[in-house]
Amino acid sequence: MRLPQGRSGPMHGQWPVVAVVAAGGAAGASGRYGALLLWPQSSGAFPWTTFWVNVTGCAVIGAFMVVITEVWAAHRLVRPFFGTGVLGGYTTFSTYAVETRRLIDAHQGGTAAAYAVGTALAAMAAVWAAAWGVRGFLAWRER
């Protein structure tokens, strides 16, 4: 396959994006790990730390998306760095799934169901509430 002149392949021009996502992901995952060190979770109990990490991360993404889509014309690497990288590394829906499974394996079906449903609902509510709050603040500030 012959590529147009000046192009070097499907990743042409994407390496900066890959780099900022990786750097942001490392920062976000480090923040999540720090939260788990500060607030360790007991086996078989409701995983509050992961719950609050996911809810706060979703609230931040709700606020962030309003700011970068409705207020500020951000540099093209801001969204992949912060939205995909930092917040993608910070929030942990894979751990959410593993913890739900561990609760089920520990015969904590009620806790597993509360965690699974509660996290999904709280995360969606956090995105909505943060976006609504930022829009309200911006409208108030313009008056």
Q: Is 83 annotated in some ligand binding site?
A: no
Considering the domain boundaries, does residue 39 fall inside one? Answer: yes
Has residue 3 been placed in a domain? no
Q: Residue 119's pLDDT band (boundaries 50, 70, 90)?
A: very high
Identify the CA nearest to 35 among candidates 19, 20, 49, 21. Answer: 49
- In sequence order, what are the residues at sequence separation of 6 or more whose Cβ sits closer than 8 angstroms to the Cβ of residue 16? 77
Instruction: Give the domain range for residue 76.
Output: 16-142
Is 132 part of any domain?
A: yes
Among 2-11, 23-32, 70-79, 123-132, which is the least confidently predicted range?
A: 2-11
Mean pLDDT of all residues in the chain?
92
What pLDDT, on a 0 to 100 scale, did the predictor assign at position 44? Answer: 83
Domain-located, residue 112: yes
First to last CA, the chain: 58
Confidence of residue 91 (pLDDT cuts 50, 70, 90): very high
In a domain, 7, yes or no: no
Task: Give the pair of three-digit tokens for residue 84.
Answer: 């995909």
* pLDDT at position 1: 53
User: Residues near 115 by Cβ (< 8 Å), separated by ≥ 6?
Assistant: 46, 47, 51, 96, 99, 100, 103
Q: Given this model, what pLDDT does residue 9 score?
A: 67
Residue 14 has a CB neighbour count (10 Å cut-off) of: 12
- Residue 129 domain-assigned? yes
pLDDT at 7 exceeding the cut of 70: no
Rounded Cα–Cα distance for residues 35 and 49 (Å) = 7
pLDDT of 99:
95
pLDDT level of residue 120 (50, 70, 90 thresholds): very high
* The total number of structural domains that make up the chain: 1
Three-state DSSP at 133 gives helix
In a domain, 33, yes or no: yes
Q: 3-state DSSP: the chain helix, strand, coil percent, rounded to 5?
A: 75, 0, 25
Residue 23 within any structural domain of the chain: yes
Residue 119 marked in a binding site: no
Residue 129 — very low, low, confident or very high, per pLDDT cuts 50/70/90? very high
**pLDDT class for 90, splitting at 50, 70, 90?**
very high
